[in-house]
Amino acid sequence: MALLPLISLPRRVCRAAGAPLAALALLATTGIAAKTADAAELVMVEQPGCAWCARWDAEIAPIYPKTAEGRFAPLRRADLRAMPEDLTLSRRVTFTPTFLIVEDGHEMARLEGYPGEDFFWPLITGLLQEHVGFIPTGSAPSAPDQTTAPLATNG
């Protein structure tokens, strides 16, 4: 039996199973990998009554999923008193909020506490770059402006 050329595989799969499987077959044969369930995520460990968690919810939560960081590492929430069993942590979480950079269920890095939105973005972006290979595609829409404005003087 002769081997079929790789280019004919997606066409045959398309006829047999539909376009979604053809696209998947094409990705597999070309070596292009799609983001899987084992991709990076940002786990926010919180607890009821946490004032800093509430502040993060007000300042960052609405815009996080719209950012490059949020698309690369989607947010997952975890309760401090009921940590998910599918996470392997480097040490116990004691502060809320604590932001865990997780890949394949393993903690890669963490940010303890919420330092305010001006510091959150550069810190979380740096952790994602250093520990899970995030490459920023320019200024995130939620990140503070990185340009330096002239200081106003009283005089």
Residues 57-90 have pLDDT tens digits of 999 999 999 999 999 999 999 999 999 999 999 9
Query: What gap in Å lies between CA 80 and CA 11, rounded to an integer?
Result: 50
- Identify the segments of the chain with pLDDT beneath 70: 1-38, 138-155
pTM: 0.67
pLDDT at position 34: 37
pLDDT at position 111: 98
pLDDT at position 38: 55
Please check whether residue 96 is in contact with residue 111, taking contact to mean a CB–CB distance below 8 angstroms. Answer: no
pLDDT at position 39: 86
Ordered DSSP codes for the chain: -PPPPTTHHHHHHHHHH-HHHHHHHHHHHHTPPPP-TTS-EEEEEE-TT-HHHHHHHHHTTTTGGGSHHHHHS-EEEEETTB--TT-B-SS---SSSEEEEEETTEEEEEEES---HHHHHHHHHHHHHHHH-----SS-TTSPP-SPPPPP---
